[in-house]
């Protein structure tokens, strides 16, 4: 019985690659230095898997930036603006595509399916010339081989590559990207032949788009692509790996009849229905790579349960054709539990990061082969039992309250129009009220204060007085700028989820649980391990303090339940919506305490609501229903005169606009400045929006300072489709990552533009 790992984190257990990359980009180290760090990481990962006993060890899952960009390099599909002149693509062209350079902007980046990983979107068109321009897959295979490790080279499959691409600038939107298959397959064939010549006996093609909703035409592309590649496959075992969701029945049929393919990999964690398909028919003589160990979460596998699933699959695929695997690449989980010093032993016993998952996969394979490590399985069973029964996990009161929410509805009693009237009587805001999204620049000094307080190097009094001083500075700046609805600037927060997680029960935090988000950037999601409750108010002190410093309305600032959920590692022992409802109840308490403390405007950020959309359309309605319901639960109990704001990032809202309306917030501020037209077109097409809305008037992700004219122009464009009395004027998102030298002039221009337009109304 064999074991396989779909892919492995590249960053290193202590983010070694991140630091090497950033030092190289800053010109502080050489390409040789960077390559040395990279090859050391690769060899340690291969050795680790080999020592663990993994049979099918992946190679070419390392990347200096992104595996899709690596594929673009392999195919030589460099957009013209990078002036690449041919030959093997080097680091400078590669990083220019990833990050831009002094003269040319980067390629677009977008989310990799429903993960928090972002890939570089290929830009293709009828005139794109493809040539074999990066031999990385072959050289990594050889590199491992030289270490005595025979690996399975992994390639992004040709059809997924094209389906994830976009038409280059100037190319008609209707251009069929799949029409390029004929141009890229010859290069894939070359790569396959070289790998074969180098000694490879297996090749893995990642085709995760197979789990999406595909049309007949797209499915046909899989059949023709692999039929075309078949001639290059002779003498090889070819694995097609799918992940992140159930595979639709039609796609399963197509997949299992692809020519030349000998093995199929499935995500059996996200895709519970896939098991039924496999059980009802699996082609004889083919390998089944069963992804039973979760690649996207941090929980120790329930080995007994997995073993029984695997045993049932032996009958389907045959003993010698069943391979134990991970549900997807382990790059979506944390790297190594060994480096966790902050977590207590009990919680640690419930967890498995990538390094531990490798061991789990192998233990399962050995157990299937009749060499069960009884002690290891017993320890695992004990940990599972302790997790199930631990009083730290269960809070019956919370469970009852959350369960009661399911199937019911929670809404504010009056219509948004009536509420806005009541609020306006109290708040007395000018037309086109101005505001910001929450955070103000986080200076080095501010970060130092927080760090020293955490490390107990400064006293609580010192900390409080430093934060108060910062708030008062931010309040003064906003008053001087003449902004209408103020924020306290969030100086006490390192991160909009961590700040709340640290004060809620049921959350744990890692020291090194980093997951790659894009390029060298990593995030460290909190772990939700138990029922969530709020023992004490979390923000009331700071909001009250801030409000006491000004006569203008001060927004209370909270992170919403869906965003907290989507940016955490969540429990796998209850449905996501249940955890979300629990968080919603905790945030509800906070909202009510803020209201009682005299805060009249409360913003509940749902930056990541859209992000949580399931991959398959058939599951959207259910998700949106409980996500939007969770949001409403947080504020359904406030008075009409309390104004509830929400904020969302990413501008692609058209498909969920009705859910946004259903959130029933009084005011929504939306990131918009990178695609004005898109958002506004919904309203132009007649969607009725009666609540307040502030589409961001400038992009805070760039250091550029927008001019007054430019902002006025944008506001006027919005006024053409939105009623004057509902429009708010605000930046795109929080100002945390900007400098004061950028923020002050930008906001000055924002306020001037607003005042100018007010005189013209
Ligand atoms: N209130 C948060 C801030 O301003 C919102 C951040 C976000 O939308 N990502 O920082
Ligand atoms: Zn935002």
> 60-82 pLDDT, tens per residue?
999 999 999 999 999 999 999 99
Which among 580, 145, 632, 247 has a CA at the least distance from the CA of 413? 632
What are the catalytic residues? 701
Secondary structure class of 531 (helix, strand, coil): strand
Secondary structure class of 30 (helix, strand, coil): coil
Q: Strand pairing partners for 522?
A: 516
What DSSP character marks residue 248? Answer: P
The ligand that comes nearest to the alpha carbon of residue 672 is: 2
Q: What is the pLDDT of residue 741?
A: 96
CA 577 to ligand 2 center in whole angstroms: 23
Residue nearest to atom 3 of ligand 1 (CA): 734
Residue nearest to atom 6 of ligand 1 (CA): 734
Q: Note every long-range contact of 309-317, with CB atoms under 8 Å and residues 24 or more positions apart, other chains counting.
A: 309/268, 309/275, 310/364, 310/368, 311/368, 312/279, 313/278, 313/279, 313/288, 314/368, 316/278, 316/279, 316/282, 316/288, 317/278, 317/282, 317/286, 317/287, 317/288
Secondary structure class of 554 (helix, strand, coil): strand
Q: What is the pLDDT of residue 619?
A: 93
Q: Strand pairing partners for 668?
A: 646, 693
- Which of 436, 734, 737, 747 to mutate to test ligand 1, by most ligand atoms within 8 A of the CB atom? 734
CA 359 to ligand 2 center in whole angstroms: 39
- Which of 607, 669, 699 to mutate to test ligand 1, by most ligand atoms within 8 A of the CB atom? 607
Between CA 163 and CA 218 the distance in angstroms is 8
Q: What is the pLDDT of residue 406?
A: 82
> Distance of CA 378 to CAs 158, 305, 365, 386, 456, Å?
43, 13, 16, 12, 41
Between CA 739 and CA 744 the distance in angstroms is 9
- Which of 567, 650, 733, 743 to mutate to test ligand 1, by most ligand atoms within 8 A of the CB atom? 733
| DSSP run (H or E) holding 654 | none
Task: Tell me how many helices (H) and strands (E) the chain has.
Answer: 27, 21
> Distance of CA 329 to CAs 155, 196, 212, 433, Å?
13, 23, 18, 47
| DSSP run (H or E) holding 110 | strand 109-111
Residue nearest to atom 8 of ligand 1 (CA): 607
Between CA 222 and CA 47 the distance in angstroms is 34
CA 566 to ligand 2 center in whole angstroms: 14
Residue nearest to atom 10 of ligand 1 (CA): 734
Q: What is the pLDDT of residue 665?
A: 98
Give yes or no for a contact between 729 and 670, defined as CB atoms under 8 angstroms apart: no
Pocket of ligand 1 (CB under 6 A): 437-439, 490, 496, 557, 605, 607, 647, 649, 733-734, 736
Give yes or no for a contact between 132 and 81, defined as CB atoms under 8 angstroms apart: no
Residues in the chain: 761
The ligand that comes nearest to the alpha carbon of residue 539 is: 1
Secondary structure class of 178 (helix, strand, coil): helix
Q: What is the pLDDT of residue 525?
A: 97
Q: What is the pLDDT of residue 677?
A: 67
Question: Which ligand 1 atom minimizes the distance to the CA of 439?
Answer: 4
CA 211 to ligand 2 center in whole angstroms: 29
| DSSP run (H or E) holding 671 | none
Q: What is the pLDDT of residue 662?
A: 96
- Which of 490, 539, 611 to mutate to test ligand 1, by most ligand atoms within 8 A of the CB atom? 490
10-residue mean pLDDT profile of the chain (761 residues): values are: 95 97 97 98 98 98 98 98 96 96 90 94 97 98 98 98 96 95 98 98 98 97 98 97 96 97 97 92 97 98 98 96 98 97 94 98 98 98 97 95 89 96 98 98 96 96 98 98 98 96 97 96 96 98 98 98 97 96 98 98 96 92 97 98 94 85 96 71 84 93 91 94 95 94 97 98 91
- What is the CB neighbour count within 10 angstroms for residue 148? 9
β-pairing verdict for 643-648 and 118-120: unpaired
CA 700 to ligand 1 center in whole angstroms: 11
Q: What is the pLDDT of residue 684?
A: 82
Contacts of 745 by beta carbon, 8 Å cutoff, 6+ apart: 705
Question: Which ligand 1 atom minimizes the distance to the CA of 733?
Answer: 8
Residue nearest to atom 1 of ligand 1 (CA): 438
CA 437 to ligand 1 center in whole angstroms: 6
Between CA 294 and CA 271 the distance in angstroms is 11
The DSSP code sequence of 324-369 is EEESS-GGGS-S-GGG--SS-HHHHHTB--HHHHHHHHHHHHHHHT
Q: What is the pLDDT of residue 271?
A: 75
- What is the CB neighbour count within 10 angstroms for residue 759? 6
CA 670 to ligand 2 center in whole angstroms: 7
Neighbours of ion ligand 2 (CB under 5 A): 607, 649, 733
**Token reading at 288:** 């089944």
Q: What is the pLDDT of residue 653?
A: 79
Report the complex ipTM: 0.99
Cα-Cα end-to-end distance for the chain: 75
């Amino acid at each position: 019985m064999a074991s396989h790992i779909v892919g492995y984190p590249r960053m290193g257990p202590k983010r070694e690659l991140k630091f090497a990359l950033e030092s190289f980009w800053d010109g502080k180290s050489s390409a040789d230095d960077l390559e040395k760090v990279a090859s050391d990481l690769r060899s340690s990962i291969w050795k680790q898997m080999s020592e663990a006993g993994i049979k099918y060890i992946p190679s070419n899952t390392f990347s200096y930036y992104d595996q899709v960009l690596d594929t673009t390099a392999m195919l030589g599909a460099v957009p013209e603006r990078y002036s690449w002149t041919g030959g093997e693509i080097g680091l400078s062209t590669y990083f220019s595509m990833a990050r831009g350079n002094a003269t040319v902007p980067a390629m677009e980046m977008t989310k990799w399916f429903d993960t928090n990983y972002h890939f570089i979107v290929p830009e293709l068109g009828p005139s794109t010339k493809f040539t074999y321009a990066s031999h990385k897959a072959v050289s990594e295979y050889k590199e491992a081989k030289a270490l005595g490790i025979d690996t399975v080279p992994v390639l992004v499959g040709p059809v997924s590559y094209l389906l994830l691409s976009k038409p280059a600038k100037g190319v008609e939107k209707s251009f069929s990207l799949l029409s390029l298959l004929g141009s890229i397959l010859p290069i894939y064939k070359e790569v396959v032949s070289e790998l074969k010549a180098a000694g490879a006996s297996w090749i893995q093609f990642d085709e995760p788009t197979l789990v999406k909703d595909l049309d007949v035409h797209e499915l046909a592309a899989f059949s023709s692509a692999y039929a075309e590649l078949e001639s290059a496959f002779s003498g090889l075992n070819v694995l097609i790996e799918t992940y992140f969701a159930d595979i639709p029945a039609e796609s399963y049929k197509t997949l299992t009849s692809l020519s030349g393919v000998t093995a199929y990999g499935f995500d059996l964690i996200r895709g519970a229905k896939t098991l039924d398909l496999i059980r009802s028919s699996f082609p004889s003589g083919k390998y089944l790579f069963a992804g039973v160990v979760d690649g996207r979460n941090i929980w120790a596998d329930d080995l007994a349960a997995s073993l029984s699933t695997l045993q049932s699959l032996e009958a389907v695929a045959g003993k010698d054709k069943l391979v134990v695997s991970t549900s997807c690449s382990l790059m979506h989980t944390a790297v190594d539990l060994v480096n966790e010093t902050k977590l207590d032993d009990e919680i640690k016993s419930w967890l498995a990061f990538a390094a531990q998952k490798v061991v789990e996969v192998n233990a399962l394979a050995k157990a299937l082969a009749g060499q069960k490590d009884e002690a290891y399985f017993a320890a695992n069973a004990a940990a599972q039992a302790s997790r199930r029964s631990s009083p730290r996990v269960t809070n019956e009161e919370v469970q009852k309250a959350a369960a009661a929410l399911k199937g019911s509805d929670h809404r504010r009693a009056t219509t948004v129009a009536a509420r806005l009237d009541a609020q306006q009587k109290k708040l007395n805001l000018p037309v086109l009220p101005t505001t910001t999204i929450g955070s103000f620049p986080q200076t080095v000094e501010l970060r130092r204060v927080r760090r020293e307080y955490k490390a107990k190097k400064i006293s609580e009094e010192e900390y409080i007085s430093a934060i108060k001083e910062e708030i008062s500075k931010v309040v003064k700046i906003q008053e001087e700028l003449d902004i209408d609805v103020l924020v306290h600037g969030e100086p006490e927060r390192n991160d909009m989820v961590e700040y709340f997680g640290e004060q809620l029960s049921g959350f744990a935090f890692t020291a090194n649980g980093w997951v790659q988000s894009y390029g060298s950037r990593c995030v460290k999601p909190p772990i939700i391990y138990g029922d969530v409750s709020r023992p004490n108010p979390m923000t009331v002190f700071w909001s009250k303090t801030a409000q006491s410093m000004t006569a203008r309305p001060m927004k209370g600032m909270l992170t919403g339940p869906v965003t907290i959920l989507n940016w955490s590692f969540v429990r796998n022992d209850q449905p996501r919506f249940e955890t979300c409802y629990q968080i919603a109840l905790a945030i509800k308490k906070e909202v009510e305490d803020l209201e009682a403390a005299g805060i009249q405007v409360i913003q509940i950020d749902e930056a990541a609501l859209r992000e949580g959309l399931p991959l398959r359309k058939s599951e959207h309605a259910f998700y949106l229903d409980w996500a939007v319901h969770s949001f409403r639960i947080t504020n359904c109990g406030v008075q009409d005169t309390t104004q509830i704001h929400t904020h969302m990032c990413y501008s692609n809202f058209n498909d969920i606009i009705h859910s946004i309306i259903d959130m029933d917030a009084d005011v929504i501020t939306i990131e918009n400045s990178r695609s004005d037209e898109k958002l506004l077109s919904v309203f132009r097409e007649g969607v009725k929006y009666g609540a307040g809305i502030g589409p961001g008037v400038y992009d805070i992700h760039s250091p550029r300072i927008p001019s007054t004219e430019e902002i006025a122009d944008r506001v006027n464009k919005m006024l053409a489709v939105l009623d004057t009395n509902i429009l708010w004027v605000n930046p795109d998102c929080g100002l945390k990552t900007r400098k004061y030298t950028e923020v002050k002039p930008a906001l000055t221009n924002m306020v001037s533009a607003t005042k100018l337009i007010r005189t013209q109304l």
